[in-house]
Amino acid sequence: MAEVLEKKVAPKHEETPLEAFASICGVLAVGLFVLTFVFQNFAIPSSSMVKTLLVGDHVLVDRITLAPPARWAPFVYYRDVRREDVIVFYKPTVEPNGEHLFLVKRVIGVPGDRIHLRDGVVYRNGVALNEPYAAMPNDSNYLPYRDDFPAVSPAESGDVTAEWAEALPSYVHNGDLVVPPGMYLVMGDNRLVSLDSRYWGFVPRANIVGRPLFVYWSFETPENQEYKTSVQDRIGWILHETVHFFDQTRWRRTFHRVK
């Protein structure tokens, strides 16, 4: 007669409220770490990077690749900032209200590069750049300081900061602006409206936060929306986004790669 062995079943452990809370905290901590040190989301508030980035684009920014290399993480891929990189950075000048702004522009010059513009065309180290993404001036909207930089005195433009107007001549040699060590010259792709290095100077390496990878959501947004900061305006805009999520989302831009 065969023996029948009874299989003992371990009693099921039910998660306590404290254990559940600890699990949630762990997930939140990992998510917060990733969103703070690895990736970050930004919304594009202005048209300075049109057509590359539109007002209302929400982009995911890689904060690791362009970061200073860390010895404790040799497995992470790092690289230097390159020409034509689109980067997110802290604006080197502080706003009148004391705020530090995040900006997104394209790197035109790296340390040692010689830059000048002629009729809106960028010349780098003596060679004219082919920039199909850049907006170019014409006879009706030509501005001497903006489009023949740095040949024209900053006094010709009221948008130049006082500090940059004073410092600019010291970086100009034989008609070219020479990018100093540790600095980068950046411009918006929409050169006709972009307030960039031509108006406030170089971007220090330490100010660079990362590079946008792709658009994860794009919503039709008026350019003046960033100036509507009252509680009533913010609530009204959230309601607008909720109601018009489907008909005003630019679905074709979802996962659009930034380059």
Question: Residue 124 has what pLDDT?
Answer: 98
Pick the CATH number of 32-112+181-257 from 3.90.230.10, 1.10.510.10, 3.40.30.10, 2.10.109.10: 2.10.109.10
For residue 116, the tally of other CB atoms under 10 A from its CB is 18
CA angle 52, 56, 62 (to 5 degrees): 60
Listed residue (189, 257, 205, 207) closest to 80, CA to CA: 205
**8-12, 79-83, 143-147 — which is least confidently predicted?**
8-12
**Alpha-carbon span 155 to 122, nearest angstrom:** 21
Domain coordinates in residue numbering, the chain: 32-112+181-257
Q: What is the pLDDT of residues 218-257, one digit of tens each?
A: 999 999 898 888 999 999 999 999 999 999 999 999 999 9
For residues 177 and 148, the answer to whether their CB atoms sit within 8 Å is no
| Closest among 239, 250, 247 to 216, alpha carbons compared | 250
Cα–Cα distance between 51 and 133 in angstroms, integer?
A: 7
Q: From CA 189, how far away is CA 246, in angstroms rounded? A: 29
pTM, whole model, 2 decimals?
0.84
